[in-house]
Every structure is written in structure tokens, then in C-alpha cells.
């Protein structure tokens, strides 16, 4: 096994770290408090190539590997996981889904501007009654011959307001169950689309989260991805890659909290010595470092499998479940190490703890990941 990063991977990691530590840190607390979308940062990161990292250069993407993507996601999320999730959705869900399953015409029209970062995309799967049970789609896309007529509501949509391109999962033939679900590319500004208010979230408050209502929205037939009834499989396959992004985000949140805790423990003195020399604190940091390293290798393995063209769904489920749960533990301990200072916004760790919680919920809860892994155990794949 070769654990050495390539020069290009190190360069990408450093570029993400530099931007996060130099630019994102400047206004991250204010954007969190006021739930301000990071417009300027997303524009800058697009110019640096981070919004279409994984896309083939012939579609105007960066042509980077998934390992590089994990490295960048970790560095950005150490400082600002709201920016991290915006980058993740555009790369892992929207660009990946279009490049892997879209037609050449769809790639020319939609993928290229997404890869260049001129526009962003959103992935519309969750509904008021369809979260973990993604087969229970109530949004309808009725086949009208040359177009679909869409009606329904989607919930918890990242980039819901700012995106220009929606990848929508909707039911066309309820009698066929999940085989009747389609995936459609929808113009966010089409007639009949109403975006709800910005969700007042516990964490990742700077990201753009909304409900979206569709009322008699016409979607051209040529905007369907894949064959009729391919939508559910499309969603599940796309989410396999998305989970690598969220696992990397969780890894970054934990790493950021750990680095802050280490710095504080070396500076803060009690009973005449830095608190890192008290065994109670030292052992906390040792556990945090070990768990972070374990999560990092799970993320890297899933990314490597994807880059090698090998099945990676189980590995991505393991990485997401472990990294998300680990991030919650590590950020909680980071707050504890900071004591009273950890409970105030100035020291960042309370925000990272709030942000960590969402990684256990979206793009498949930790419980759903355990279902994926346990079924693989039963079938002999693990």
C-alpha cells in the first residue's frame, strides 16, 4: 500500500487550506450568526476550480481524483462546513450525476456551466414525508407526451434558492413503485417554482437551505436523465458518491475542532502547567487524534475505490457513518477542553459542534448507513 500523496494532491490540499485559513476564517462567525450565504467565497472557489473538481476537462472541469476532493473538503470544512456542503452538493451530487448518467446534450447545456462554477446546482430528493424512505415520493411528474408536468414539495434543499439547476427526483407511475420514479433536470427559474423561506437551522447556518414547491411546472422530455423509471437508481447511485463528500466534511469539522483544542490546551495553564500536561486532557486529545485518523483512512479508502472504478457504496456508507458519529464526539470533547470559553462563539468550537450534528442526518442518517452495511454483511459482501 502507498499512503503517500502525489504532488498534485498536496498542491490541491494546500490551496484549499490556504483559502480556508486566510479567507473563510475572516467572516465565518458573522455569517453563522446572521445566516449569510457566502456568495463571494463561492465565486472565489469557483475561480480556483473547486466547484467542478471531479468533472472531466472536456466538460470544463478540473479532472481531479476523488482523493483530492476528500483533501479539499476536509480543509474547507475545518473552518466553514457551510461552504463545504455547497461545494459537496455541486461536485458529488449534481456534477457527478450529470456526467455519469446524462446525455451529451445535457452535459453541454448544464454540466459545463456547473463545472466552471458559473452556476450552482441542487439535488431535490427529500420531501415532508420522504426522507430516509426515499421510495415514498409524493412529488409527481406526469408524462404529458413531449414534457412532464411536475407538482409537489421538496424539503431541506441545499442551494435551494441560489442554484440555477435542479436535479429533481419525482414519481411518474405510482403503480410501478420505485421503478416509476424519474430524475429530471429542471430550470430553477421555470414558471411554477416557489422557493420557501430560508430555514433557521441549528448549524451550517451559512448554507442555503429551503423547501421548494412545484405547481404545474413543465419539464421538457429531453431533460430526463436515463431511461423511464431510472430515477430511484440514479438517486441511490449518486448518493453513494455524495456520502464520500459528507464523510470528508465531517472529518474536516472534527479536524478543525481538534486543532483548536490542541492549541488551547498548549496555551491554557492550570495548577502551574499547560492543561495538555494533565492526563485527563492529554488522553482526550489522544482519543480524538486516533478517531480522526481512523475516519480519514475510511474516507480515503472509499475515494480510492471510486477512483479505481471499483464498487465503493459500502465503503462510503462506513466512512460517512463513522466520520459523522466521530465528529459529534470530537467536537463535544473540544468544547469540554475549552471549558467556559468553548461555550462562546469567539472560540469557534461551539459552532463546529452544532455543524457536526447535521452530518449524522443528511445524505442518509447514521442509522441508514448501518442498514447499508448490515445488509452487505448478510449478503456476504463484507
Strand duo 165-171 + 181-187: pairing: antiparallel
DSSP 243: H
Contacts of residue 141, defined as CB under 8 A and 6 or more positions apart, other chains included, come to 148, 149, 150, 168, 170, 171, 172, 182, 184, 219
Residue 89: CA atoms inside 13 Å, Cβ hemisphere, count?
Answer: 28
Residues 240, 350, 363, 378: which is the catalytic one? 363
Alpha helices in the chain (DSSP H): 7-19, 25-34, 39-47, 66-79, 81-88, 96-101, 104-106, 112-116, 231-267, 279-307, 313-338, 349-359, 366-379
Residue 365: CA atoms inside 13 Å, Cβ hemisphere, count?
Answer: 9
307, 66 in Cβ contact below 8 A? yes
The string over 58-68, giving b where at least 16 C-beta atoms fall within 10 Å of a residue's C-beta and e elsewhere, is: ebbbbbbbbbb
Cell of 379: 449478503
Cell of 69: 476532493
Alpha helices in 268-365 (DSSP H): 279-307, 313-338, 349-359
Cell of 327: 465528529
> What DSSP string describes 37-55?
--HHHHHHHHHTT-SSTTS
- Cβ count near 40 (within 10 Å): 10
Distance from CA of residue 202 to its chain's centroid? 17
Place of cell 479536524: 255
Cell of 295: 475516519
40 is catalytic: no
Query: What is the chain's length?
Result: 382
Alpha helices in 48-103 (DSSP H): 66-79, 81-88, 96-101
Enumerate the active-site residues.
363
Amino acid at each position: 500500500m502507498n499512503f503517500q500523496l502525489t504532488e498534485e494532491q498536496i498542491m490541491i490540499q494546500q490551496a484549499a487550506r490556504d483559502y480556508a485559513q486566510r479567507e473563510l476564517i475572516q467572516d465565518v462567525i458573522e455569517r453563522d450568526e446572521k445566516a449569510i450565504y457566502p456568495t463571494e467565497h463561492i465565486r472565489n472557489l469557483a475561480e480556483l476550480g473547486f466547484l467542478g473538481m471531479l468533472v472531466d476537462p472536456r466538460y470544463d472541469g478540473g479532472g481531479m481524483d476523488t482523493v483530492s476532493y476528500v483533501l479539499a473538503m476536509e480543509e474547507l470544512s475545518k473552518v466553514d462546513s457551510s461552504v463545504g456542503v455547497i461545494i459537496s452538493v455541486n461536485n458529488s451530487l449534481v456534477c457527478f450525476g450529470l456526467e455519469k448518467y446524462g446525455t451529451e446534450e445535457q452535459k453541454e447545456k448544464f454540466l459545463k456551466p456547473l463545472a466552471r462554477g458559473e452556476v450552482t446546482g441542487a439535488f431535490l430528493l427529500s420531501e415532508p414525508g420522504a426522507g430516509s424512505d426515499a421510495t415514498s415520493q409524493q412529488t409527481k411528474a406526469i408524462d404529458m407526451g413531449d414534457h412532464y408536468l411536475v407538482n409537489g414539495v421538496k424539503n431541506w434543499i441545499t442551494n435551494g434558492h441560489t442554484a440555477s439547476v435542479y436535479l429533481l427526483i419525482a414519481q411518474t407511475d405510482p403503480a410501478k413503485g420505485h421503478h416509476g420514479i424519474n430524475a429530471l433536470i429542471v430550470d430553477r427559474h421555470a414558471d411554477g417554482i416557489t422557493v420557501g423561506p430560508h430555514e433557521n437551522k441549528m448549524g451550517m447556518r451559512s448554507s442555503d437551505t429551503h423547501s421548494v414547491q412545484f405547481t404545474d411546472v413543465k419539464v421538457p422530455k429531453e431533460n430526463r436523465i436515463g431511461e423511464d423509471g431510472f430515477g430511484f437508481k440514479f438517486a441511490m447511485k449518486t448518493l453513494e458518491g455524495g456520502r464520500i463528500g459528507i464523510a470528508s466534511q465531517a472529518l474536516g469539522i472534527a479536524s478543525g475542532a481538534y486543532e483548536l483544542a490542541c492549541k488551547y490546551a498548549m496555551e491554557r495553564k492550570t495548577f502551574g502547567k499547560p492543561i495538555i500536561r494533565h492526563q485527563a486532557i492529554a488522553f482526550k486529545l489522544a482519543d480524538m487524534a486516533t478517531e480522526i485518523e481512523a475516519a480519514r483512512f475510511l474516507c480515503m479508502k472509499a475515494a480510492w475505490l471510486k477512483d479505481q472504478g471499483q464498487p465503493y457504496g459500502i465503503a462510503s456508507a462506513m466512512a460517512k457513518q463513522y466520520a459523522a458519529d466521530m465528529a459529534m464526539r470530537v467536537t463535544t470533547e473540544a468544547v469540554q477542553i475549552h471549558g467556559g470559553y468553548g461555550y462562546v462563539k469567539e472560540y469557534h468550537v461551539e459552532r463546529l459542534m452544532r455543524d457536526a450534528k447535521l452530518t449524522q442526518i443528511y445524505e442518509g442518517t447514521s442509522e441508514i448507513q448501518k442498514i447499508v452495511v448490515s445488509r452487505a454483511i448478510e449478503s456476504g459482501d463484507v
